[in-house]
Structure 1
Amino acid sequence: MKRKLPKEIKCVIFDMDGVIIDSEEIHKKAYYETFVSLSLEVSDALYKSFTGSSTINAFQRLVAHFNLDENPEELVLDKRKRYINFFENDPNLHLVRNVEEIIKYFYEKGIILILASSSAMVNINRVFNRFDLNQYFSAKISGADLKESKPHPEIFNKAAILANIPKENCIVIEDSDNGIKAANDANIFVFGYANKLSEKQTLENADAVIADFLELKKFV
């Protein structure tokens, strides 16, 4: 059942990869370089199932799926090195279209902004420092630091607590089905952002779907 949009929006909780920054492609390159180094053939369906999950959760599942001897934590570090290489050497890496404008729009209206990403905090800080976003956000949460990964609702429950705003006055913006399920289970209204670069996500359980961030101005 779809939730109704809050009558008054006081907090916006953003995912990062695929919502704030178009980094899904370099994450995919880093993952698949790691898979090749392990001589693994990972299907599109299996890779798609990782979207929105933390990297440690993805590699834990990969190790179990292929019955590998490798330590998932070491695989995370290997993948992270590859990601950093792409991040630092790709001059075309950019913010999602119009997301900076909507972030500033919310901020100027006094709405609390929280970042709730499955990425490691080192990657979150790398993005926020490169694009000068720290000034707008009250808090940043890394799913890698939590007990549970999306689609578990822990990250969004924590975001609402950190914002000190009732859930009925919060909204989430997500581009992955795992993230949308986490927001659903946290009982927070969620906009699905239809990013064409995100890995075949249906967004079918989002409370509403947008294709451009400027669409949000009519709601807030």
Structure 2
Amino acid sequence: MLKAVLFDMDGVIVDSEPLHHKAYHNMFNDVNINVSDSLYESFTGQTTLTICKRLCEEFNIDKTPEMLVALKRKHFKYLFDNDNDFQLIDGVLKLIQDYYNNGLTLILASSASMPNIDRIFDRFNLNQYFKAKLSGTDLKASKPHPEIFVKAAEASGYDKKHCLVIEDSTNGIKAANAANIFCIGFDSLHSKNQDYSNADKVISDFNEITYHKIQNIFSKNFIK
């Protein structure tokens, strides 16, 4: 029986990708590098520090990865504070409330930094629904490594077989697979060039996984 849901944040709870895209490209301009669309898309689901380490290696940048992280976060904070169109993804608040009201334990498992997680959770008053929030930047390995979902399942207090992950990225789905946790792939209008073939179920609307529907899906498709 399903008892806990492990949510990714970017692309699942909020579509902050446009803000991240602008912030990253402002940082790319700061350090005078040209990042292709395909390289940028490969970063999805990874921590900012992991991405900046790759950039330093790829482009032989004469700054530390930590300096690049600081530049990107400065740009993101400005955009976050000044973009009034930034909202929750359609239907996700209703889904979160549905799960919470039916007794499921909710855990956030995001590659975002904790300051960004807190900023978003405070803005949209989400802390009341979640038992714990995990940031990939606080862990040893980044998605597609399974560490974040293993830790998130532990934080829920339930065995992995009673948990599921909701993810929108190739790296996130790979991480859930590697953690051996049932995974819903959320293929939305905000998702671009991600591979959902390894998700246990793919959806495009949160109405497909309301509490009673997901319990039925989970019990039929993920018996261990």
- TM-score normalised by structure 2 residue count: 0.93
- Greater displacement, 190-199 / 131-140: 190-199
Structure 2 residue 68 is the aligned partner of structure 1 residue 113: no
Query: How far off its partner does 1:202 sit?
Result: 2.2
Structure-2 residue corresponding to 1:219: 214
Query: How far off its partner does 1:195 sit?
Result: 2.2
170, 178, 189: which one aligns with 1:177: 170
Letter in 2 for 1:46: L
- Identity across matched positions, percent: 53
Q: What is the 5 A alignment of 1:70-219?
A: 70-217=63-210, 218-219=213-214
Letter in 1 for 2:214: F
User: For 2:184 and 2:42, how far apart are their aligned partners in 1?
Assistant: 20
The count of residues paired between Structure 1 and Structure 2 equals 213
User: For 2:29 and 2:209, how far apart are their aligned partners in 1?
Assistant: 40
Deviations 1:135-181, CA, capped at 9 Å, x for gaps: 00000000001110001000000001111111111000000000000
Structure-2 residue corresponding to 1:65: 58
RMSD of Structure 2 on Structure 1 (CA): 0.8
Deviations 1:39-87, CA, capped at 9 Å, x for gaps: 1110111101100000000000111111112110111111001011111
User: For 1:109 and 1:11, how far apart are their aligned partners in 2?
Assistant: 11
Deviations 1:190-213, CA, capped at 9 Å, x for gaps: 001012223321222111111011
- Greater displacement, 46-55 / 199-208: 199-208
User: For 1:88 and 1:153, how far apart are their aligned partners in 2?
Assistant: 32
Unaligned runs of 5+ in 1: 1-7
Ranges of 4+ aligned residues in structure 1 off by more than 6 Å? none
Structure-2 residue corresponding to 1:25: 18
Deviations 1:85-122, CA, capped at 9 Å, x for gaps: 11111101010110000000000011000000000000
User: For 1:199 and 1:74, how far apart are their aligned partners in 2?
Assistant: 28
Structure-1 residue corresponding to 2:221: none
User: For 1:74 and 1:52, how far apart are their aligned partners in 2?
Assistant: 20
SS at match of 1:50: coil
Structure-2 residue corresponding to 1:5: none
User: For 1:28 and 1:165, how far apart are their aligned partners in 2?
Assistant: 36
User: For 1:78 and 1:34, how far apart are their aligned partners in 2?
Assistant: 6
User: For 1:55 and 1:106, how far apart are their aligned partners in 2?
Assistant: 30
Query: How far off its partner does 1:18 sit?
Result: 0.7
Q: Is the 8 A contact 1:51 1:199 kept in 2?
A: no
User: For 1:197 and 1:34, how far apart are their aligned partners in 2?
Assistant: 22
SS at match of 2:192: coil
